[in-house]
Structure 1
């Protein structure tokens, strides 16, 4: 499979390593913005975008208009997500966006939903989320933390949204920290006067994210439509 990497930073380089280990060829590497590059569907089977928030939508829409499927792990641009989906559908290509491509994180998502479903009937417990990432991460909170919050909100009828650092009673607070060389730690905590319950996912390296993105790209080849990591995982474990 011929892959274009859009966003050739630390994650892009690990994606290149994993993709080549799995027998794929990297035919295009773009630092951030695809604007000055020529895209050719005959040469590119799928693009993987781990760029920056300001470049992501331009990269994605340019690929779609050239009939190139896209796997996107860039966060911080989701105000344009619905527009991206519409372009994808109009151009008859394929798209997967995920706030986190790690297999372990996607298991963590399922645990989070299950725990929230159990805790919603226990009003004596408050809930909050903490995420810690490397200092190069531009957006805060992380897309993964937002996904965790949204999953909890769907289970709690009295929760209306989330806020960074400070939240009202009907919102979930997310604390975001930036520390050198931390790939990603996410903690969901339920706290009462009696005890606390925590679930934690701690990434040890970027390789888990990169492998998930490449597996998603393999899944997306020759498909049309909008997919999620749940679709990818279902194809692996069927």
Structure 2
């Protein structure tokens, strides 16, 4: 495949290395210093785009790929409030979109464990559920997209929780303690605390390779398809 990388920071470079190792070519690299090169003509040189940019530019990048009839894999988070519009545009333009809050196989298995544990804990009111997420200081969105997914999974199963927040700690709110430290790739901890004991599950990324590999696998999966897909379609 010929791949367009939209976002060529640390993650983009990791994706490039894995893509080349798997036999693909990177024909376009877009970052903040050459954003004017994301043209229709350049996008049409690629078979698929992989997008890891910023919450401020991702929506425009998705729409450009739809207009160019270019399948796009989106790893940027912080845009899901606009998902309904993107879904509508994808349908109208017969586009191709693969989105995930996290492309790591380990994280997506962690999602399954989180859902199962939350369902078990629903009937045990003595346990207070909360979350801690830790990422590098360069991450722009707070909390992380992965943290939001984990929180929503828990809220869906635990009836006493109605929403999540990074500020409020009332009884109906799942509190997310979001920390930004050094170059941490990503750590997420779901915590169940009672006066008697604690139960915790954790996913800790050691590097970005798991995210990058998952994004390339998603691009391979999406190539030639129409519609909207997630990691559930692979796992």
Instruction: Report how far residue 39 of structure 1 moved.
Output: 2.7
2:174 maps to which of 144, 162, 172: 172
Contact 1:96 1:216 in 2 (8 A): yes
CA contact (8 A) 1:34 1:58 kept: no
TM-score of the aligned structures, taking structure 1 as reference length: 0.95
Residue in 1 that maps onto 2:40: 39
Aligned counterparts of 1:37 and 1:2: Cα–Cα separation in 2: 15
Q: Distance in 2 between matches of 1:173 and 1:84?
A: 29
Return the alpha-carbon distance in structure 2 between the equivalents of residues 79 and 114 of structure 1.
Answer: 26
Q: C-alpha displacement at 1:34, in angstroms?
A: 4.9
1:78 to partner: Cα distance: 1.6
Q: What's the offset of the Cα at 1:38? A: 1.7
Aligned to 1:20: 20
Aligned to 2:218: 216
Distance in 2 of aligned mates of 1:54 and 1:35: 16
Supply the distance in 2 between the matched residues of 1:35 and 1:9 (Cα, whole angstroms): 17
Matched-pair contact (CA < 8 Å) for 1:35–1:59: no
Secondary structure of 2:77 counterpart: coil
Moved over 4 A (4+): 32-36
- Number of the residue aligned with 2:191: 189
Which residue does 1:236 correspond to in 2?
Answer: none
SS in 2 for 1:150: helix
Q: Specify every segment of 5 or more residues in structure 2 that has no aligned partner in the other structure, as ranges.
A: none
Equivalent residues of 2:4, 2:48 under 8 A apart? yes
Residues 1:232 and 2:234 aligned together: yes
SS in 2 for 1:53: coil
- Please list every run of 5 or more consecutive structure 1 residues that lacks an aligned counterpart in the other structure: 234-238
Q: CA-atom RMSD, angstroms?
A: 1.3
CA distance in 2, matches of 1:57, 1:188: 30
Q: How does 1:119-198 map to 2 (within 5 A)?
A: 119-198=121-200
Q: Which moved more, 1:162-171 or 1:125-134?
A: 162-171
Asked if 1 retains the 8 angstrom alpha-carbon contact of 2:77 and 2:141, the reply is: yes
Distance in 2, matches of 1:67 and 1:86, equals: 15
Three-state SS of the structure 1 residue aligned to 2:147 is helix
1:5-38 residue CA offsets vs partner (Å, 9 max, x unmatched): 0011110010001100000000110004855522
